[in-house]
Chains A and B, each alone.
Chain A
């Protein structure tokens, strides 16, 4: 069974794969991890693959449009959500507290290229909503082609702040500070999954999809700092419940960043992120 998945979801999906292969030892799951932008080209040409989980609904809708996925239900088929957070290097040298601080002169902001990665679109959307897009654009010192580029830039202090997905920010706990955004500017991005029309193992693919969408699957996503459950959003994707469904995750992230830096590996308040805290606590330069 071949599973096309966004490279960002690798850690979660590898864990789900272990559970799945324990339950169904006769099925072997192979992942093809790529940047989401590569998928449609690959799938359109190869007509191969069973399951599809890109890093943005947009890419899945492209597959729906081409008839590669026929049963997509935007309510049911959401595995988890990315939540946007503000991220600064360790120690927060420019003392960034709110979105507005990103517009101050002399602050280096990392932006994503909206044509190349979804986070770039969110940068524009978020800063525009805050009415500081022009000033932030003046401050921009990089136009990243993918989100890890921004994560690495913050990690190595090349920029003073950027907005990342929660699930990306959690990878750099030792080297960054995570600052939750106010609910009005907090975005939640749906992460959908679908069985491909030309699947050679449609039943098995459906089983794996069900596992991903089950409580056990979602719990794994949650332990990698994705938001789960139902998150109400407006048309643009900003949360509309005043942050109620994502506040806990934000709290965990802030605590986790502190716990890893202080080497306090039984820290309370990090919730399901404990595994991630322990993993990154083991080494100075993170690895699994």
Chain B
């Protein structure tokens, strides 16, 4: 047994070869695609494509013989999606070009819209979370009749299309009790930033409740029982035990809710309408400018949306990295 070969060595070799082959195959296919795109198809491109597919198949055979095909497929799928994202953003940046990018990103109009999106989404997220924390706690901890039915009803706005919510809001705000309250408060919801916040709030409240429930579910109830048995009241236990333990989950939820609020468009389109400088948050501004044939603005603002998403996701990973929620 002393001289038996290391069993992992052939596997490692096969892996190196497979990665090399698959990589070569990918590059060859890309070259073929570029030739076709440049209008130079024909024999050259076909040869490249055949070689590419061949080396991909070689990699697959190698991996299959070493029983590594399934993990390789999973990894390739992930890499494939990442590569697509890269092409997505990269091609858009190329389409826009440096000088135009400098022009559009230097315009105040763009940043005014970013700012509008940021502050409306922040306020609506705050409102959603203020309501979402007690609702999430109730769903997670308290006993009440027909819990599943109630949880499902609370979740409805997650499933119902935002456009439908926008359409339903019309009736909601024009019917007597709500209408009177709004009139008394002097609030005008249609065609104003207040309306934007209202719509974002309605659309995100279900997300907030759902994510808060998940955050509280992740806290072991034993800690709360100990706190109660030592004489702390329920509110004190919630504030000093449950909430701190659920902190990561709550923060992560906050960011998810914020991102959803900032991305809201359909209900806004129907219920609030596009008023420049007042309701044209980024998704809406993209639509309005697309209508005006202003592709430069559309593309720049879309890139800003991607940047915002990257920033929020990054923040979420930093803050809520190990939470159960995300």
Interface residues of A (CB under 8 A from B): 2, 7-8, 10-11, 14, 30-34, 38, 42, 45-46, 48, 146, 148, 151-152, 155, 168, 171-172, 282-288
Contact = CB atoms under 8 A, between A and B. Distances in A.
Contacts of B294: 171, 286-288
B252 to A, nearest CB: 36
A285 B170 contact: no
B13 interface: no
A11 B292 CA distance: 8
A54 to B, nearest CB: 13
Interface SS of chain B: helix, strand, loop or mixed? helix
B249 interface: no
A207 B297 CA distance: 33
Of the listed residues A10, A33, A34, A285, the one surrounded by the most CB atoms of chain B closer than 10 A to its CB is A285
Contact of B99 (A46, A48, A148, A284): A284
A7 B293 CA distance: 11
Q: Is the interface of A mostly helix, strand, loop or mixed?
A: helix
Contacts of B270: 38
A42 B166 CA distance: 11
Interface in B260-295: 269-270, 273-276, 278, 288-295
Given A2-B191, A168-B293, A285 B276 contact: no
Contacts of B289: 287
Contacts of A2: 191
B97 interface: yes
A48 B190 contact: yes
Contacts of A42: 170, 273
A8 B293 CA distance: 9
A171 B292 CA distance: 7
A21 to B, nearest CB: 13
A287 B300 CA distance: 10
A61 B300 CA distance: 38
Contacts of B97: 284-285
A42 B97 CA distance: 40
A34 B290 CA distance: 13
A232 B294 CA distance: 32
B28 interface: no
